[in-house]
Amino acid sequence: MSTLLSRVVLTMATVVLASTSFALAETQATPVTQTTVAQASPAASPTPNPFTYRGSVRAYYFTRQNASNYPGVQFDASGKYNSNAVNQASFMDGVDLHADYHFAGSGFYVGGGYFYGNPFDGECVQAQLHAKGGPCVTQIPPNTNPDDTLPGFTLSTFDEAYLGYKMDNFSAVIGDQLLNNPWAGSYDATRVKPAAYQGADFQYTLPKDGVTLEALDVIGYENRTSSTFSQSTLLTSYPSGSTGLGSNIYVPGCVASACSGIATTGFFMGKIGYLTPATQSANNYSIAADGYLYAVSDINTMWWGDAKYTDTKSAYQPFLAIQGGFNTNAGTSVIGKIQSDVIGVQIGATYKTKFGSVLGTFGFDSIPWKTDTITLPKGVSCSTTTNTISAKGASLNYFLPTQVPDCQTLADGQTQVYYGGWASPYTDSYAADPLFTTSITQGVVDRRAAGNSFKVAGTFTSLNNRFVFVASDAWYQYGNNISQTLPQFGSYSNLSTNEWNLDGRYYFSQNKPGQLYKGLLIRYRYAQRTIPDTYFASGATWLGGIPLFKYNRAQLEYDF
């Protein structure tokens, strides 16, 4: 730990010195000198500096225990290694710089950003060593290679470079940029580097009506573990630290590190949003509602909506929120058949004390299972032990769940396939989707499964907004009719997992809601995920030993 502390101190010292030197360039223009007359004219207002900048440095350290560390599950009788038993510790240090220049009076501006990250791992710092099948992703004992969700290799990229325009109620940004929307965002807080997108975004707001219109067209994507833009998604490639393209989809010529997956050409998003206008101050309520269309090239079409009603006249600010949508395969359907729908509900209220406020929420999401009865193509089979699809040299064109039984062979020789999970090309494996029940390490979307999920959470915010603490407990039920017939899953059919989280943040400087924070921030997160042993026969041997997952995330950040 002393080594980690020294790295963090050196990093922070470097950034503080750098930010001090940058400050000289951000001063406002000199006011006009007053004219010497009998009555002095008022001083002119300072001209805003057309050049602005911001940045951050983040030191991120975590440890995890995945599944089980029992020696008995690390090797089976044939000597095969169970990588789920690996305990890992990873460190990543990242510097994120951003600058804008506004052309006075025109509404136009240009901007750019650069990110650099280094894990300080002399053996695995090169990204190519972490490609599919590479030596730095093969967990062969005694190696415990770094977890690549950070990632465990060096990153260097100009992830922002754009031309923008903003005048009155219209704005547009064209180029490499960061996004913030439910199913295609930058997700900066989840690790070290934000995800970035190449495209054009147009927005128009009708202030009196409270309506916002947005159109977004994206042609390139750079995920949080990549230094280059490409025509790929998290569901059609093999991104470091993510599940990637399903094993049931065959890609000709895909061999080990030479495999890059399937190229697609991006997506279109359309949005219409409504927020109760501030001019309607007489109202004792507020309504926020959004509707989205995501058309992802050759993968899927998502219709998504959310709405929230808040009783603003009450001291407790109670609210009711709903969310839901439909998701189907589209175009050439390169990851197979997708048919999913979700509905979610969340309620909450705030209790104020002399120390701060406590927000309590309860959320529920439901995704029903879908089934098809088919004849499996040549090269595809349904395992008789795990009841999961196995494909070699061929594809079963369905979007299938992970770690959940998805097939059973019927008496007539046909196969019943179970599917229905929500396919999310730009959030998969990130635990960053908008569902009310998503937690630090998992969500229904990341499991690519159907099922029901519940989550209760409490958030404390101090009066000065400098201390924020969140505690939550969530339950996920992924079972289907197959698990009811298999003895290895016991009598409980829902394949239930439970996760509880603790998340604390402290801001060392003034922290005002709605404003960019500047100063030092420390954040610590803990997550524990379990599969209750009482639900399984023989201690859940299907997953390889005692099912336990513990996660510690320490984050030290300086924003300027």
Instruction: Give pLDDT, residue 214.
Output: 98
- Cβ atoms of residues 191 and 60 within 8 Å: yes
Averaged pLDDT, 274-292 = 89
What is the rounded distance in angstroms from the CA atom of residue 553 to the CA atom of residue 272? 36
DSSP assignments along 48-76, one per residue:
PPSEEEEEEEEEEEEEEEEE---HHHHB-
Q: What is the pLDDT of residues 431-448, one digit of tens each?
A: 999 999 999 998 999 999
- Cβ atoms of residues 228 and 157 within 8 Å: yes
Query: What is the identity of the amino acid at 183?
Result: W
Instruction: Give pLDDT, residue 126.
Output: 82
What is the rounded distance in angstroms from the CA atom of residue 244 to the CA atom of residue 262? 11
What is the rounded distance in angstroms from the CA atom of residue 17 to the CA atom of residue 10? 11
Quickly tell me which residue has 């997708």 as its tokens.
Answer: 338
What is the rounded distance in angstroms from the CA atom of residue 545 to the CA atom of residue 88? 18
What is the rounded distance in angstroms from the CA atom of residue 402 to the CA atom of residue 418? 11
Closest residue by Cα to residue 560 from 508, 523, 504? 508
Answer with the residue of higher pLDDT: 44 or 99.
99
Report strand pairing: 211-222 vs 415-419: unpaired
- Greatest Cα pair distance, the chain, in angstroms, is 105
Burial of 168 (0-12, 13-18, 19+ CB in 10 A): exposed
Q: Could you tell me the CA-to-CA distances from 386 to 348, 408, 533 in Å, in that order?
A: 40, 10, 18
Q: Is the pLDDT of residue 141 over 80?
A: no
Q: What is the pLDDT of residues 207-246, one digit of tens each?
A: 888 999 999 999 999 999 999 999 999 999 989 888 899 9
Averaged pLDDT, 237-257 = 84
Q: Is the pLDDT of residue 417 over 50?
A: yes
Radius of gyration, CA atoms only, the chain: 26
Task: Tell me the whole-structure pTM to 2 decimals.
Answer: 0.86
**Three-class SS of residue 180?**
coil
Instruction: Give pLDDT, residue 102.
Output: 97
CATH 3.40.50.970 fits 2-28+49-559, yes or no: no
Answer with the residue of higher pLDDT: 548 or 369.
369
Q: Is the pLDDT of residue 18 over 50?
A: no
Q: Which two tokens stand for residue 17?
A: 């010195």
Q: What is the pLDDT of residues 329-369, one digit of tens each?
A: 999 999 999 999 999 999 999 999 999 999 999 999 999 99
Averaged pLDDT, 56-69 = 80
Q: What is the pLDDT of residues 168-213, one digit of tens each?
A: 999 999 999 999 999 999 998 889 999 999 999 999 999 888 999 9
- Cβ atoms of residues 543 and 532 within 8 Å: no
Q: Is the pLDDT of residue 466 over 60?
A: yes
**Three-class SS of residue 287?**
strand
Residue 463: band (very low, low, confident or very high) from pLDDT cuts 50, 70, 90: very high
